[in-house]
Amino acid sequence: MNKPSNTTSQNPQPDIDVITVAQGEVIAVRGSVVDVMFTGKLPAVRNLLKLEKSDDGNAAILLEVQTQLDAKRVRAIALTPTAGLSRGAAIQDTGGPLTAPVGPEILSRMFDVFGNAIDQLPQPKNVEWRSVHNVPPLLSSRSTKTEVFSTGIKVIDLLVPLERGGKTGLFGGAGVGKTVLLTEMIHNMIGHHNGVSIFCGIGERCREGEELHREMKEAGVLKDMVMLFGQMNELPGSRFRVGHAALTMAEYFRDDEQRDVLLLVDNIFRFIQAGSEVSGLMGQMPSRLGYQPTLSTELAQLEERIANTEAGAITSIQAVYVPADDFTDPAAVHTFSHLSASIALSRKRASEGLFPAVDPLQSHSKMLTPSIVGERHYHLAQLARQTLAKYEDLKDIIAMLGLEQLSQNDRKVVSRARQLERFLTQPFFTTGQFSGMQGATVSLEDTLDGCERILNDEFSTYSESALYMIGRVDEANKTKEQPTNAE
């Protein structure tokens, strides 16, 4: 993971035919923005330009054409550091866009945006190189089946059921548990998900990538997994394309091998942020709150490729950082519109020790209808949400006057809601080394059974802490003391 991003001398992008491609000359370098003049045919927008070796002897420099300035000049954005690049340097047009490796040999491997192996293993040989820029599947080829995708996490399966082949967003500010929830989903899904998992790290810290690779290897699930990383220290042009490269790999497994794909993206906000940086570097006028004017289009070009077809499904779970916990931020608003389920993580619940810190009132799923999940599940989910909403309304009264001033019925509602909140917490396998608790995977039937019994006051004589951080409701211990961080 710590391999520097300027090692593209080993870049396995397809070789250039120097006889047929255009030759150009650098006429201006402004940081990551490079203007190149061509005497012959002008490269197309999105074409990759290459300088084999810079003046200071560093590795090859790769640029992507963003716009054609006139009949002879193009403006490109650097995908690798431009140190050593100077005016007059000879540039070659590769004749095509950035490509990604696809094929059975990429399984269990870790790559960067250029297809370089970054797991300290030899570069895979028998692979095909495909453009990272593809169009979404036609509406006529998409599947119309609707299925629920079970995660084994109680609060999600009950209140925010996921869709097979759908797009799910994990929304939250910094430090509320997006990455932890994402890795727990990987752990839980590997057992009953027989397809391929692709993890795409956009703007990730190298520490997080190394830890995830090690954990997946120890769990024995790396054989059906591919990892791609555009690290935090890399240039915005590189981070902006790593999501497209991951989708090219996902489309290969879906269309060519007809396998289901689980695509995990951490973090889609970093994709938007990289696009904003590229837009600023190119001199485009920013729109609201400084975002690029093309935010909606760029996000749609990525999201619409995630789709179900008759051949297979790409199910996507995406972490979305919410700046300053503001859900009206344009990045969050535009991402919301593409999703079939939105899981909002709450800093307040995290501070109360209620993990996973899913906000049951702000999270929602299009799958939660009687015709899809069934009457019992729908009814229990609505009842649980109403109970928690009523408790939220009563919190101000409790804070001012105390619990004793509530009516008998309201006190029962508060008791049920607090027990539900504790029951919907869950020990995770991925945090067992920190919490000292054995992780638990809970079936949907056990989750529904537990909620039904709590709402029917079967546990009214139990302390709230008896239901805290357990799996099935039968594990509740009547004599368990209340932990201090659960209040």
Length of the chain: 487
Among the listed residues 72, 205, 366, 390, the single catalytic one is 205
Among the listed residues 184, 204, 251, 303, the single catalytic one is 204
23, containing H or E segment: strand 23-30
Q: What is the DSSP letter of 43?
A: P
Q: Please tell me the distance from the alpha carbon of residue 80 to that of residue 403, in angstroms, as a whole number.
A: 61
Residue 290 has which token pair?
Answer: 């400084």
Among the listed residues 75, 178, 270, 305, the single catalytic one is 178
- β partners of residue 364: 342
For the residues of 85-115, what is the DSSP string, one character each?
A: --TT-EEEE-SS--EEEESGGGTT-EE-TTS
Among 156, 148, 185, 199, smallest CA distance to 345 is for 156
205 given a catalytic annotation: yes
Residue 77's alpha-carbon distances to 26, 165, 295, 297, in angstroms, are 13, 34, 18, 19
| H helical segments located in 104-159 | 154-159
**Which is it for strands 364-365 and 341-344: parallel, antiparallel or unpaired?**
antiparallel
Rama region for 256: left / alpha / beta (φ>0; ψ in -120 to 50; rest): alpha
178 given a catalytic annotation: yes
Residue 170 has which token pair?
Answer: 């994990």
Decide: residue 233, CB within 10 A, 0-12 exposed, 13-18 middle, 19+ buried: middle
Q: Please tell me the distance from the alpha carbon of residue 388 to that of residue 236, in angstroms, as a whole number.
A: 42
Among 102, 109, 101, smallest CA distance to 224 is for 109
Residue 42's alpha-carbon distances to 21, 121, 347, in angstroms, are 10, 38, 52
Residue 83's alpha-carbon distances to 53, 79, 216, in angstroms, are 11, 12, 36
Active site residues: 178, 204-205
